[in-house]
Amino acid sequence: MCRLFCAGRVSARTKRDASMSLQKTIVNLLLKLPDPILVSMAGGKPVVRDGRTLDARFQFIAHSVTKRGPQPELTKEFARQGTEILTMLFGGTLEPGVSCQDRSLELEGRSIPARSYRPSNQNPLAPLLVFYHFGGGVVGSLETCHALCSILAKTIGCPVLSVDYRLAPEHPWPAGLNDAIDSYLWARDHAQEFGAPAGVAAVGGDSMGGNFSAIIAQEMQRRELPQPFLQLLIYPATTILETEGSMQTCADAYPLTADIMAWFMANYLPNSDLGPNLGEDLRVSPALAPSLAGLAPAIVITAGHDPLRDQGKAYAEALEAADVKVHFQCYDSLAHGFTAYTGGVPAADRACRELAAVAARAYRAMGG
């Protein structure tokens, strides 16, 4: 009976994987069509926000998702499944010359899943990069940033450790953030296990992962500990209090809308006696810090069609005003989450390789 059940389960999984593979093939063939044809199939005219024209492939994907009509009620299960499906359809693959290994970080009282990436061209002087995926603190996994982490490892020539922090609402704030901070400290202290210099690590992430990374740099300063080697902040969420600018003009942008952001925060932040002004906590909104002086050098990347666009730029400007060395770039034609679309959107793949090259130059300039 057990054998029959297991055989049936394997068969169902095989059919599902085959179906997903077929869908991916069809989608990728469609995305190879010329831009004008894709635009004609996705509303007929280019999508322009704040003078920025959305990439035709992103427009086609967004139209394909939204034309299905009203979405089912947004639940954590539905959102997580949807994120993984989109990653399978549009995500890239492991870079040639990069090996990866799943592992568990044994921290005090808990284990955190992680995945390490080691490039064949690893520079023994290059510090370990600890990376945190996107997802509003509610969705996302090691898979959503798999391709990007391998691009970073190969381009920089450094090991990368991707951390699968706990998610809300099962584990509301500050559980995921605490995982991020503790895993960074663990990685810094165990860097030699990855063939990297001891006692130092860079930190990076996209969206919520960028939020965590910015907070980690500030938290190290508050604890009077050494700064990260580098901050890599990709379309970071730096404050939940912002309501103007791109928060309005990109409120309906795919895939991160204002409504979805509100849903994320409703799940991420606990309803408790911590107080109604939790958004003012620097461990939620790092942009509210009274001073950014003395923080690690930063690379800040934003996307043109993203509610978080303006706050990312503002954070880069605030860092620069505090005499922190900053590289800032906005990819005007791309949308939030573009790092997970490297397999289906060539402009997203180029952007990821470009930002990795910027990080590589920063590493070399600082002796890593």
For the chain, how are helix, strand and coil distributed in percent, rounded to 5?
45, 15, 40
Distance CA(144)–CA(339), nearest Å, equals 8
pLDDT of residue 147 exceeding 60, the answer is yes
| C-alpha dihedral (282, 286, 289, 293), degrees to nearest 10 | 130
Q: What pLDDT, in 10s, does the model give residues 34-61?
A: 999 999 999 999 999 999 999 999 999 9
Q: What pLDDT, in 10s, does the model give residues 74-88?
A: 999 999 999 999 999
pLDDT of residue 310 exceeding 80, the answer is yes
User: Tokens standing for 241?
Assistant: 């209090």
The amino acid that residue 315 corresponds to is Y
Distance CA(325)–CA(245), nearest Å, equals 25
Single out the catalytic residue among 116, 141, 150, 207: 207
- Closest by CA position to 233, among listed 321, 140, 312, 116: 312
The pLDDT of residue 283 is 97
pLDDT of residue 273 exceeding 80, the answer is no
List phi, psi (to 5°) of 355.
-70, -30
Percentage of the chain modeled with pLDDT above 70: 93
Single out the catalytic residue among 133, 146, 305, 336: 336
> Is residue 291 annotated as part of the catalytic site, yes or no?
no
Instruction: Please indicate whether residue 275 or residue 123 has the higher confidence score (pLDDT).
Output: 123
pLDDT of residue 71 exceeding 90, the answer is no
**Residues 203, 280 contacting (CB under 8 angstroms):** no
Single out the catalytic residue among 55, 164, 179, 306: 306
Bond into 174 cis (ω within 30): yes
Q: What pLDDT, in 10s, does the model give residues 189-238?
A: 999 999 999 999 999 999 999 999 999 999 999 999 999 999 999 999 99
Distance CA(260)–CA(106), nearest Å, equals 33
The amino acid that residue 118 corresponds to is R
User: Tokens standing for 91?
Assistant: 């995500």
SS3 212: helix
Instruction: Please indicate whether residue 271 or residue 124 has the higher confidence score (pLDDT).
Output: 124
Mean per-residue pLDDT over the chain, rounded: 93
pLDDT of residue 3 exceeding 90, the answer is no
Q: What pLDDT, in 10s, does the model give residues 311-367?
A: 999 999 999 999 999 999 999 999 999 999 999 999 999 999 999 999 999 999 999
> Is residue 306 annotated as part of the catalytic site, yes or no?
yes
> Is residue 336 annotated as part of the catalytic site, yes or no?
yes
pLDDT of residue 2 exceeding 50, the answer is no
The pLDDT of residue 24 is 86
Task: Report pTM.
Answer: 0.93
pLDDT of residue 175 exceeding 80, the answer is yes
**What CATH class is the domain 90-365?**
alpha beta
Domain boundaries, the chain: 13-75, 90-365
Q: What pLDDT, in 10s, does the model give residues 92-110?
A: 999 999 999 999 999 988 9
